[in-house]
Structure 1
């Protein structure tokens, strides 16, 4: 054993034996301060020796797989503690000489040294020396937790322009991720008469939505009676619905499968008159007769009134190719893409002439079928055939022989709700 270390060990042992006889509080504090400094100095010496042992390959020479494994076995350490010692020794040697010197002087402790080394390692190489010096200088004032927070922002001190550029780049990446992750889900809850609304917006989009909702959800504003019985959440919900009402009432929205966006409520005449029974939205969701009657009074709502046989009596009056009344009649009949097994809703679909218009086919319900874009192209460019069954007026699809040699007509059963 080195004579100086042996002497240090002997002196420490003597002091340890004299602790029970120390009576003065000031002496206890003084000696505790001295021991703390010595502890850090010993730790600095230990880390320097570990770094030397690692560089000399002592672990391999003694049959160990690594310096971590050798320390763990020789000194009966936990694997994590041995690994941390090896990594801290390397970091202080390579990147943090100022912190290493402060530890050797007892000016910082091992926990502080580890926090500083970790913060320095995250920086570009050109800024590590200045960060090491800056953080080591704060060791006499701040503990490990505070130093960790300062370390996260150390680039702002040692290289403010670089920090600003990195922060801007990080913000742009975050905005790109937020935009890519945007979504909105409307999930009907069976049997509850409610729809769960959930989703994500990036900050820019959220600012637009907030700007539209805020004027409509102030206390005492739209939807409020005397006083303000609504919760903030209810006010926001009312405002969202009102914004959508305003949007559907305007003429600026793009066409939706050949028609401007509207809400279609299917209800038989007796239900509408007597308010007993249920109506149906165009996506198949049920609606009470009272709610259907309220919606029927709204200019943005187009009621499709049926008689007892389910025949369309009135679907409005608009004149366009597969738009207006004709399109709504197709939606009421097909309830979505009519191709077998397709579940795409009406808003994703367009009208298709069974007998092509260029071949003299008329534009009416008996020569039309509602198809999504994919199946519309398939009908035009494959051997699938579609006809309107004269018995009930619904479309039948005949597959090509390579799919069904018997070519049995098929129907979409997904949308059939009766």
Structure 2
């Protein structure tokens, strides 16, 4: 086997540097199919080797805790990937040889083989080996047409084809088993990355998954024609919006004797001069622009420090945009005031037109409601915000977006009776008609049409 694999490696080496740009399209497609078949054949060989090594206990003999951890170090795989490899090798070894042959011939790939092997094991337990053999034949036919995801979905109803008399009862048991497995395997892992980011991984049960989708999907639509975020970035931002809303409700339990919150520490000079970074309570640094944006709608707690950094005095917290002022902003703006945005008020933060650290007042004439995405747009991408003559905010785009820098407004939140309708004028000296009363007509006056 080693000699044959070495010859295969030598034979395929020239293909790596082949001039694919000079090949006709038909040959490109044929080469792609051949490479895919070869890849699956090699996958079948690797699975057979993994199964034999696992059965002999080679990993434990060499000091590893399991074959998966041994494969991680040997092949530089992640532990989940190595574990899936070991599990699939065992499933193919215990299952029908037809599946192994299909993988070796390149008719199915490793993920399809995983689906077929798992389905066959379930059918064998539920309806017996004869039904399992029938299921394998059907699934192999489906694998010629469907990818692993759709094949897995179709396989959940395989008993309707091979054992219809027990399909309904088996479906109920399978659902119970899936629910129990989802409850057992549910988890959420937060992994700190070295650059301050956080990797979010986990497995949600069906109910929690539905809750998450219901919470973030309404917030994942593009905020306007200029929204250049990818779908993944919009989902990321939507999750942040949901977390902000939860923190804003004040109904979360206390954490360490304080309300649930994030804490950013920065110097006054850095905040006022737009220079320097801030520090989260987790020790991670934030750039100055992010600190200034967060300070727009946050509690600011001034503290006086001595020369060696000791705290000499701590002032009282001031909430910049809240209470009656926030309610007034909601009445005026109706939601995010950025042009084209339809985010409602509960998803919005207060933004100072003239920043508080630059002497800007906390007042209705110096504040505007912005959702987080557009709050960041204003802070980082050169938009200017001002109040027009009628007291409503308007946005001046940066020159790279509109060389004429024509002001724009949000028309989404304003009621129809307020949308820039021309106001009727009354000549000076004309008496005002009392409300609710029609002018009296004399018989000589003609009836209006």
**Structure 2 length as normaliser, TM-score?**
0.36
**Structure 1 length as normaliser, TM-score?**
0.39
- Greater Rg by CA: 1
